[in-house]
A and B are shown apart, each in its own frame.
Chain A
Amino acid sequence: MSIATGQEYATAGEVRIFGEHPHENEGILPKICFIRESQQYLDDIRAVHAFRAAADAFPRWDWDLAERLIHEFQVPEKTKIKKMSHGQRSAVGVITGIASRAELTLFDEPYVGLDPVARSQFYRALLEDYTEHPRTIVVSSHLIDEIAHLIENVVLIDHGQVMLHEAADDIRERAVTLVGRDDAVALIAGDREVLTREEMGRTVRVTVERALSDAERRRAAELDVDVLPVGLQDLVVHLTTREQTSSGKENGA
């Protein structure tokens, strides 16, 4: 993210944003807003100053939106940022990122320190503003299920390697969870690859690859097998665990 926003040098490879190299590119940089988990501020600066600075820096800054979010997140504008709680500092970053309306906005774990209510407010505000003013928003997060309803594309990076890059809807259709009697679940699962399996007496809970066809869904209903969607986080964990296992085997061979 730092390299994509022109804040760090690339040691290898190439990044282009809006078709150009972002580093020291004043034609591109005002269109990019990057909010880190630990955003840096001038010493002794107050929240109101941080917002004024952001308004100067981002040409599409929206003061009305910023003021509404300041009120919603209850940010004490006159308080020095260094005296704020972690959550309040995160709220300043979140408001800056949303109100910047930058054509490319990147959030790196922006919710750290925010309580669940504030996190929910952030997701809602982000989605609402994105709906009214569509733009590219990248959210880096370990809380995949919390942001699952927001995202259109998933890029999963592990140790610098892209493990997965797919549309969120496509990923959701890549697996399904079946709950029911052992033999009935096995019948519905057929030759699908089993990602996880939990047994509770005669009842099993199996997550298998590939969505069910309409005919398979009807058959599952007849056999009293519950068909459940798989959470994006669970699915990502299953898929990456499998990727790691298979690459481990390849390396070991």
Chain B
Amino acid sequence: MKRIIAAARLHLLPKSNVITMTLMVLPIAYIIQLGIVSRLQLQNEQMPGGGNVGGVYGAVIGALVVTAAMAGAYGVPHALSLSYSRRVTLAGLVLVFAASSLTAGALVAAVIGLEQLTDTFGTGQSMLAIPDLMEPAGAWGLGLVIAATTMFLMMNGLLAPMLYRRLGTARMLIVYGLAAVVLLVGGAGITAAGGWGAVFSWVVEQNALTWTGWLTLGALVMTGANWLVIRRIPAA
């Protein structure tokens, strides 16, 4: 465990790291979006599409996925050069990604709480709340969904550069192409069977806690995929 924590600490040494990234990007994105919403309200206009949640989440999760990809491209070779085994290297990354995801989720929940207290700083329009995902656990339930989503996408972000190192550009694109084909064939199969209605019903039936469970399962599957790749990638 000591070695796993040491391997995780490696990714937290620079000031701009996978945890401080959330703390920097979320307030900046939030203030920008709040400024846009306030300006539109002054002009008696509304955000296109009605909802205000896309921008902040996109910025935070996007930044974290890029940071995860950078960890795969540079952090993994650095960790291996420090004589960490591959399993300790991956465990360290999972630990630090989990901490980062939970930080993002907790920050989202805390900011939603602040919005509720201040009526979103007088604008009356939340930048983060997603009502469908705030049942049954409120802002903290949504925070869990964000944490699980972030973790799942970060594990995806980690996989891409490691696949590149393992397979090279052409074979990596073939792998992603095959994954896209599987998804398309699956979608076509559902269309052919007239099953989209059942799919949408299933989606609507989910709540924050079940989404958290599914996304956590997805993150675990991606962790397994990352293990299959990292155990065979060249160290340098």
Residue positions of A touching B, CB distance < 8 A: 2, 5-9, 24-26, 29-30, 32-34, 36, 38-46, 49, 52-54, 56-58, 102
Contact = CB atoms under 8 A, between A and B. Distances in A.
Given A7-B236, A46-B14, A56-B6, A26 B74 contact: no
Given A2-B235, A30-B3, A49 B85 contact: no
Does more than half of chain B's interface fall in helix, strand or loop, or is it mixed?
helix
Interface residues of B, number: 30
B74 A40 contact: yes
A34 B74 CA distance: 17
A96 to B, nearest CB: 9
B82 interface: yes
Does more than half of chain A's interface fall in helix, strand or loop, or is it mixed?
loop
A56 B86 contact: no
B197 interface: no
B13 A42 contact: yes
Contacts of A29: 83-85
Interface string B3-19: 10011011101101000
Contacts of B82: 53-54, 56-58
A5 B83 CA distance: 8
B236 A42 contact: no
Given A42-B78, A45-B14, A53-B9, 16 more contacts: A5-B83, A6-B83, A6-B85, A7-B236, A24-B85, A29-B83, A30-B3, A40-B77, A40-B78, A42-B10, A44-B14, A54-B82, A56-B82, A57-B83, A58-B82, A102-B83
A7 B14 contact: no
Contacts of A25: 85
B78 A33 contact: no
Given A26-B88, A36-B236, A56-B6, A45 B83 contact: no
Interface in B53-89: 70-71, 73-75, 77-78, 80-88
